[in-house]
Chains A and B, each alone.
Chain A
Amino acid sequence: DAKTTQPNSMESNEEEPVHLPCNHSTISGTDYIHWYRQLPSQGPEYVIHGLTSNVNNRMASLAIAEDRKSSTLILHRATLRDAAVYYCILRGPGAGSYQLTFGKGTKLSVIP
């Protein structure tokens, strides 16, 4: 089953852009790349997802490499409220399940 690899932690200054990387070198052609985040003492929250093309929404942007073996979640201006654990998750046949399988994610700290 395809897996993802993320750094354990990252830091960002408030109001600076943040690029959160994710490697998924064994992704299959029909797997979607999902990003969720979990604020302290909260349930996971959907951020964004994509298949091949870059995606933008009100929360973030998702940049997907041309070979799809990696992706980057971009928060354009980090705020203190963005301090959370960010999960990069594959969903689809190649991922082995349609369920969301959470890894350890990247803990983002935002410095005022």
Chain B
Amino acid sequence: EPEVTQTPSHQVTQMGQEVILRCVPISNHLYFYWYRQILGQKVEFLVSFYNNEISEKSEIFDDQFSVERPDGSNFTLKIRSTKLEDSAMYFCASSEARISNEKLFFGSGTQLSVL
């Protein structure tokens, strides 16, 4: 079965540094998402992306965050200046469409630790 792949699986960074988390969505999918999960808490929606534009974002997704599809296969999440509270598991997801009965496929996540 096709899958969403995320790299790296673990990322350690110093506070204030920029990080880029990478994802390869399923090849025929058109909608891409980032979610995050702080240890012990709920999975939270960050942003959705379609046709090279952000289609929806949450309050968490502030000016420190950006997303990009730099080529035909990768989808990236950049955090410009990391804070301690950005430490979390970040999940990428993709779907064929953005409708109520469409299912999302999630990657295994990148564990980001900000020191």
What is the CB-to-nearest-CB distance from A21 to chain B, in angstroms, rounded to a whole number? Answer: 19
- Whether A65 sits at the interface, judged by CB under 8 Å, is no
Q: Are B99 and A104 in contact (CB under 8 A)?
A: no
A43 touches which one: B45, B91, B99 (CB < 8 A)?
Answer: B91
Stretch at the interface among A2-10, A28-36, A72-80: A28-36
What is the CB-to-nearest-CB distance from B106 to chain A, in angstroms, rounded to a whole number? Answer: 3
Q: How many interface residues does chain B have, given as a range?
A: 20 to 34
Residues of B within 8 A of A91 (CB): 100-101
A99 touches which one: B56, B106, B109 (CB < 8 A)?
Answer: B56
A102 touches which one: B44, B56, B98, B101 (CB < 8 A)?
Answer: B44
Give the residue name and chain of the A residue nearest to B44 (CB): A102
Other A-B pairs, 4, CB within 8 Å; known A43-B108, A92-B100, A102-B44:
A51-B101, A91-B101, A98-B98, A98-B100
